[in-house]
Amino acid sequence: MGNINASVDLRRDGEIAIVTVDNPPVNALKHEVRAGLTEALRQTAEDAAVKGVVIACAGRTFFAGADITEFGKPPQAPGLGEVIAAIEAMSKPVVAALHGTALGGGFELALACHFRVAVPSARVGLPEVKLGLLPGAGGTQRLPRLIGPEKALKMIVTGDPIEAREALADGVIDEIVEGDLAAGAIAFARRVVAEGRPLRLVRDREDKLVAEGFADAAETLTRRLRGRDAPAACVEAVRNAITLPFEEGLKREGELFRKLVTGDQSKAQRHIFFAEREAARVPGIPEGTKPRPITSGAVIGAGTMGGGIAMCFANAGIPVTIVETGRDLLQRGLDRVAANYRATVSRGGLGADEMERRMALISGVTEFDAVGSADLVIEAVFEEMDLKKRVFADLDRVAKADAVLATNTSTLDVNEIARATSRPQDVLGMHFFSPANVMRLLEIVRGAATAPDALATAVALGRRISKVPVTVGVCYGFVGNRMLARRSVEAERLLLEGALPQEVDAAVTGFGFPMGPFAMADMAGLDVGWRIRKGRGERNAIEDALCEAGHFGQKTGKGYFRYDSGSRTPVPDPEVERIIIDASTRLNRPRRSIAQEEIVERMIFPMINEGARILEEGIATRPGDIDVIWVYGYGWPVWRGGPMYYADQLGLAHIRDRLSFYAESSGDDTLRPAALIRRLAAEGSGFA
């Protein structure tokens, strides 16, 4: 008894042996843990005095899965499959004691145990699909045997965990332990031994393996997962659980897993997993910098963004005050928030009580001074510099001394806004994406004077409201919108040279984006950009002509596409084709047929080029930050890893050469490869 190795401890409590694993931060099932578990099981199996075994973890969670950092490296025995086989070979009851997030291989290990107990706050799940994988240690064969194929498939294809109470109701866990988990698990094991309960393995259960409803569930669950390999593999594996003997199904699961883990999609998704966590590490914030406490928030402006931002606070349990200029506008904003919540409740995504609880955290006012008690204020008024500077001057007057003052501007100079106050060290950008209560990305814009603890506060709050915070520097459009602007220029050029909106959008959605640039423009409204261009004396030959013809997008039922009433499905419009051809003629641009491959290159490569300039200027810290911004804010397909990762897969020499070609043929110098691309291509290396 005692320490088996640095991660695994074995002790006894009477006739019950307790195996405790401690591998911070999330008890990933790395090699040392697996070896220690195997040895502990061998010792307890051989020790006649041991009548039952409890497997538990120290720290914040039960095993959160296999160690993702080991993927792609030579496998080390024992594998997780061997640990699981050792558990199933035990002739003494083995009880898994769950807390935190028992995920992936951790949950699969628990499914191999004879019994599972958990604290009420525990969650269990199989999120492998989010890494471009499928459960590879028997989860696709054991979970369907416990809860039926249909429910198992939902958990495996969505990758979303379930709470302990639901797991108890489904028979996944045998008991909820209130209070001390280890004591509760030992007591449970002792009862099993005392009552001589039969040791039934999940693998031997067949009663729940019914095919009914499986095919429909599979179709529904995978409908929106076009282009991804993992969901289809999940369906095949769970179907095997219904149709094949356990061992055969397990073997097939292993084959599917090995194919996916060595595949490009999973490598790309694993890149995003780690890049997302790396993005939270912001250079220039000294180790140990404490975020300021946030117990209340305020939002200025209850428009499209303000309402959604307020919901983020309420969803995280933080009271928030929304300020508007008048009662009607305030009521309109609050009504929109209520409608949003009701829609979620009607879809079953939220309980009515929980909706009431969240709505009660949101209060609306028209008196600006009401923000005086907020720990953090986010301004979301019209995108006009003078107005924003007036709002920040007012904030400087009424906000409490150590409040963090944030602007949700999409493009404007955060430093200039900060200079409108006497406390620029407390000012930064918190750029949400529409709809703010849904989109996970949060671009945090560090101003020249922003204090490290103000920055740390915004990053910590970003994670607390379930956003993916990425810190960027000040420039026009920050990272995402600045790169997107390059795509928009090229998109218009493609239309003038011969492509049609439906062809460009088909190429971009074919690449994996949920929506093409022109359907996206129609959703945002073409008139917004038109007014901005007119204000700046700029032109967009085609979009201006469309707006002059009343094509504002979905809001007028016609934009680049036509929309039947009540429908959001873009339909090609001959009127638009005529307007585009007229513009080509007017600008003397010969039209030609443009291949999909060229369209994809011209939609993606200029953005990569701008990404390189953004890295050169230090506006983004790492290429991975840019990838996370595009995956969580702009619908870049996660299984392609983000624009900078994608560029590295294609090779920067190829990107350089194609950009040079497009710069030559268009005469547009902004398409000339960035210095960073030229240098890295010459060195034969990549961004990462």
- For ligand NAD, the binding residues (CB under 6 A) are 300-306, 323-325, 329, 380-383, 387, 391, 408-410, 432-434
Q: How far is the CB of 391 from ligand NAD (least distance, A)?
A: 5
Interface residue with ligand T1G, options 2, 25, 74, 535 (CB under 6 A): 25
Task: Order across the sheet with 101-103: list the strands.
Answer: 101-103, 123-125, 162-163
Find out whether the peptide bond into 574 is cis, omega within 30 degrees of 0. no
Task: For ligand T1G, give the closer residue by CB, 67 or 150.
Answer: 67
In this chain, which stretch among 5-13, 38-46, 129-137, 656-664 interacts with ligand T1G, using CB under 6 A?
129-137
Decide which of ligand T1G, ligand NAD, none touches 665; Cβ closer than 5 to 8 Å per partner kind.
none
The CA distance from 464 to 309, in Å, is 13
Chosen residue from 56, 109, 111, 131 binding ligand T1G by CB under 6 A: 131
Burial pattern 632-667, b for ≥16 Cβ within 10 A else e, equals bbbbbbbbbbbbbbbbbeeebeebbebbeebbeeee
| Chosen from ligand NAD, ligand T1G, none, partner binding at 107 (C-beta under 5 to 8 Å by type) | none
CA distance 288 to 280: 14
From the list ligand NAD, ligand T1G, none, pick the one residue 306 interacts with, judged by a Cβ distance below 5 to 8 Å according to partner type: ligand NAD
Using CB under 6 A as the criterion, what x/- string covers residues 310-349 for binding ligand T1G?
A: ----------------------------------------
Percent helix, strand, coil in the chain, to 5, is 55, 10, 35
Asked if the peptide bond before residue 606 counts as cis, ω within 30 degrees of 0, the response is no
Residue 671, classed as helix, strand or coil, is helix
Q: Which of the 8 DSSP states describes residue 130? A: G
| Shortest distance in whole angstroms from residue 134 CB to ligand NAD | 36
For ligand T1G, the closer of residues 34 and 114 by Cβ is 34
- List C-alpha distances in Å: 184 to 13, 98, 119, 151: 12, 11, 9, 28
Cα-only R_g, the chain: 28
Give me 227's structure tokens: 């282009």
469: partner contacted, choices ligand NAD, ligand T1G, none (Cβ within 5-8 A by kind) = none
Using CA atoms, how far residue 420 sits from 165, 328, 425, in Å, is 52, 29, 12
User: Closest separation between CB of residue 394 and ligand NAD, Å?
Assistant: 8
One-letter identity of residue 660: S
Cβ neighbours of residue 525 under 8 Å, at least 6 residues apart? Answer: 552, 553, 554, 555
In whole angstroms, the minimum distance from the beta carbon of 66 to ligand NAD comes to 38
- C-alpha 25/C-alpha 8 separation (Å) is 15
* Residue 442 interaction partner, one of ligand T1G, ligand NAD, none, beta carbon < 5-8 Å per kind: none
Q: Which of 7, 38, 101, 481 binds ligand T1G (CB under 6 A)?
A: 101
Q: Which one of 132-140, 237-245, 570-578, 633-641 is the stretch in contact with ligand T1G (CB under 6 A)?
A: 132-140
Smallest gap from residue 476 Cβ to ligand NAD (A): 12
Residues 348-387 vs ligand T1G: string with x where CB under 6 A? ----------------------------------------
Q: Confirm or reject binding of residue 249 to ligand T1G (CB under 6 A).
A: no
How, if at all, do strands 427-431 and 8-13 pair?
unpaired
Catalytic one of 15, 128, 175, 253: 128
List of residues 6+ apart from 588 with CB closer than 8 A: none
CA 477 to chain centre: 22
Whichever of 57 and 580 has its CB closer to ligand T1G, that residue is 57
Which does residue 67 touch among ligand NAD, ligand T1G, none (CB within 5 to 8 A, set by kind)? ligand T1G
Distances (CA, A) of 269 to 131, 624, 642: 5, 12, 9
Question: Is residue 64 a contact residue for ligand T1G (CB under 6 A)?
Answer: yes
**Which of 37/300 has CB closer to ligand NAD?**
300
Residue 104 interacting with ligand T1G (CB under 6 A): yes
Binders in 265-294 for ligand T1G, by CB under 6 A:
274, 277
At a CB cut-off of 8 Å and minimum separation 6, what does 333 contact? 302, 303, 306, 307, 322, 324, 364
Choices 22-30, 148-156, 326-334, 400-408; region in contact with ligand T1G by CB under 6 A: 22-30
Of 19, 26, 250, 256, the one binding ligand T1G (CB under 6 A) is: 26
In the list 33, 84, 87, 103, the residue contacting ligand T1G (rule: CB under 6 A) is: 103
Active site residue 166: no
Residue nearer to ligand T1G on the CB measure, 142 or 388? 142
Place of tokens 């961004």: 687
Question: Which one of residues 136, 297, 308, 633 is an interface residue with ligand T1G (CB under 6 A)?
Answer: 136
# residues contacting ligand T1G (CB under 6 A): 25
Residue whose CB is less far from ligand NAD, 23 or 421: 421
- 135 counts as binding ligand T1G under rule CB under 6 A: yes
The answer to whether 443 and 479 have CB atoms below 8 angstroms apart is yes
What is the nearest approach in angstroms of ligand NAD to the Cβ of residue 634? 12
C-alpha to C-alpha distance for 582 and 32, rounded to whole angstroms: 69
From ligand T1G, ligand NAD, none, interface partner of 513 (C-beta below 5 to 8 A by class): none
Among 108, 150, 253, 610, the one annotated catalytic: 108
CB of 300 to ligand NAD, least distance (A): 5
Rank residues 112 and 320 by Cβ distance to ligand NAD and give the closer one. Answer: 320
Strand ranges (DSSP E) for 258-312?
297-300
Residue 82: CB minimum distance to ligand T1G, A: 12
Which is nearest to 687 in space by CA: 283, 678, 630, 445? 678
Cα–Cα distance list, 72 to 228, 258, 267, 279, 418 (Å): 20, 10, 9, 23, 47
Specify the amino acid at residue 119: V
Taking CB under 6 A as the rule, does residue 108 contact ligand T1G? yes
Q: Which stretch binds ligand T1G (CB under 6 A): 8-16, 97-105, 478-486, 578-586?
A: 97-105
108 is catalytic: yes
Q: Which is nearer to ligand NAD, 65 or 447 (CB)?
A: 447
* Cβ nearer to ligand NAD, comparing 96 with 381: 381
62 sits in which H/E element: none
Cα 410 from chain centre: 21
- The binder of 105, among ligand T1G, ligand NAD, none, by C-beta within 5 to 8 A per type, is ligand T1G
Give 75 or 284: the residue with its C-beta nearer to ligand T1G.
75
Question: Does 164 participate in binding ligand T1G (rule CB under 6 A)?
Answer: no
Would you list the DSSP string of 98-118? Answer: E-SEEETHHHHHHHHSSEEEE
Residue with tokens 């969650």, as numbered in its chain: 123
Which residues face 102 on adjacent strands? 124
Q: Which residues are catalytic?
A: 108, 128
Site of interaction with ligand T1G (CB under 6 A): 25-26, 28, 64-69, 80, 101, 103-105, 108, 127-128, 131, 133, 135-137, 139, 274, 277
